[in-house]
Homo-oligomer: A and B are copies of this chain.
Amino acid sequence: MKTWGFVQGTRRQSRVSNWKDPDELKEVLDLEVRRSGSSHETILQLVKQVINYSVTIGHPYFLNQLFSSVDPYGLAGQWLGDVLNPSVYTYEVAPVFTLMEETVLAAMRNILGYTGGDGIFCPGGSIANGYAINCARYHKFPQVKTKGLSSVPRLVVLTSEEAHYSIKKMASLEGIGSDNVYLVRTSANGKMDVQHLEQLVLRAIEEKAVPFMVSATAGTTVLGAFDPIDEIWEVCSKYKMWLHVDAAWGGGALMSKKHRHLLSSIEKADSVTWNPHKMLAAPQQCSTMLTKHEGLLSQCHSASAQYLFQKDKFYDTAYDTGDKHVQCGRRADVLKFWLMWKAKGSEGLEKHVDTLFDNAKYLTEAIRNREGFELVVHQPECTNVTFWYLPPSLRNSRHTPDFAEKLHKVAPLIKERMMREGTMMMTYQPHKHLPNFFRLVLQNSSLNRDDMDHIIYEIERLGRDL
């Protein structure tokens, strides 16, 4: 039976990537555009090279990021969207996708526990977090939309030191400034310290600044920690601050009866970022920003452009939802996720999520019991598994003064070998005072327990002589 190349590429015995250093890759790949076009033969050759030298995100051993795999329904949805090539701003141009967005966003809010509310699809979780900051600010100071920040006191956003960097980036972009993102301390397993949160709120108030928003995280990027939403909400209520939950990564757990307790009280949040392209494995990109405040997205972002949102159209222009966004043209990212959801049902998505958590648990125990491996977080809450590998040469030198320095170099070296051989992709990073450790993240439910064992063997194979 003939199988498409990209399906072959996702077989376990295939390479995850075919590494070339930047200079080498420039040599083999003719990327230059020219005055004259190329023949179809040349184009086909180039396409084969693009495939060959790209990382196979759909490979089971691509464990490097908070997204992976290529879901077949999701892919069909992408392809279909490409053919239709819509831009979702008005009902007349995108009737099906306007209604589809409404349906899917309502279903997601329903799962959160909101009654009513509103939502939008965004180009990624960073932008979704940016929307939340802007909505929170508008909610407190609607004049910012027209008068700008020069009309209000200094504003402060609070989030944990393990929150995603987009909170700082978006605070910079939105004129708040990254120094005005106050970073709350976290526990060893990565959760926000709510006492410290309140201290920072009081500090901001003392400074005559206005702390207007807390961004809690449900599934931090590195350790996969879930901040205590209910306790944070108490502080927000007390000081009249907007509660945002960045559940870009951990939101998927809401689909599971077994794991949704991790996000308990999320229905109290004013807004939530939730990316189906992460734990639910929809293709890149599929991100949402959901809020319980009906009408706010539109009030905060609308510009009522007459050339697009004419009010004398022959249909109900409440369906022209584009003005809720700061983007004008916008892809129908809803389609791929809708198709997945339709095909698998909520129970299919639940099974997917439960498999990920089962695999993470199995791997965690296997690492706990394996000589030379050490867990960073001993009881991980999410499907991030973080660990050090100690080659035999390091195992008896834990108490020597340069141990941490030596351990710090192990992960980068194993990563290099992994990349050059193309057998697996997994990331590493330092964290606070901790030396480099591996972090793998599971979102691909086609992996099984044998794969978890394989991951351990592969790290050992690559690193035991170090």
Task: Identify the A interface with B (CB < 8 A).
Answer: 6, 17, 19-22, 25-26, 29, 31-38, 40, 42-43, 46-47, 49-51, 53-58, 64-65, 67, 69-70, 73, 75-76, 78-80, 82-87, 91-100, 103-104, 107, 123-127, 130, 134, 144-151, 153-155, 164-166, 168-180, 221-222, 277, 283-285, 301, 303, 305-308, 310, 312-316, 319, 326-331, 335, 338-339, 341-348, 409, 412, 415-416, 419, 425, 427-431, 436, 439
Assess the A165–B303 pair: CB atoms within 8 A: yes
> Given the complex, which residues of B lie within 8 Å of A107, measured CB to CB?
32-33
CA–CA, A264 to B86, complex, Å?
32
Contact A29/B345 with A178-B145, A307-B222 known, Cβ cut-off 8 Å: no
Assess the B134–A22 pair: CB atoms within 8 A: no
> Given the complex, which residues of B lie within 8 Å of A301, measured CB to CB?
169, 172-173
Assess the B328–A50 pair: CB atoms within 8 A: no
Contact A147/B347 with A326-B170, A342-B37, A427-B307 known, Cβ cut-off 8 Å: no
The answer, among B146, B168, B179, B431, for a CB contact under 8 Å with A177, is B146
Assess the A51–B64 pair: CB atoms within 8 A: no
CA–CA, A310 to B446, complex, Å?
29
Give the one of A21, A47, A149 with max B CB within 10 A.
Answer: A149
> Given the complex, which residues of B lie within 8 Å of A331, measured CB to CB?
284-285
The answer, among B76, B168, B174, B221, for a CB contact under 8 Å with A174, is B174
> Given the complex, which residues of B lie within 8 Å of A416, measured CB to CB?
314
Assess the B145–A150 pair: CB atoms within 8 A: no
Assess the B37–A307 pair: CB atoms within 8 A: no
Contact A25/B95 with A37-B344, A125-B329 known, Cβ cut-off 8 Å: yes
Nearest first, the 8 closest Cβ-Cβ pairs linking A and B are: A175-B175, A148-B177, A123-B123, A37-B345, A78-B82, A314-B416, A149-B175, A149-B149
CA–CA, A440 to B4, complex, Å?
42
> Given the complex, which residues of B lie within 8 Å of A169, measured CB to CB?
301, 303, 326
Contact A178/B75 with A103-B31, A303-B169, A319-B22 known, Cβ cut-off 8 Å: no
CA–CA, A348 to B195, complex, Å?
64
The answer, among B58, B346, B412, for a CB contact under 8 Å with A34, is B346
A7, closest chain B residue (CB): B83
> Given the complex, which residues of B lie within 8 Å of A429, measured CB to CB?
306-308, 310
CA–CA, A262 to B342, complex, Å?
49
Assess the B22–A146 pair: CB atoms within 8 A: no
Assess the A6–B146 pair: CB atoms within 8 A: no
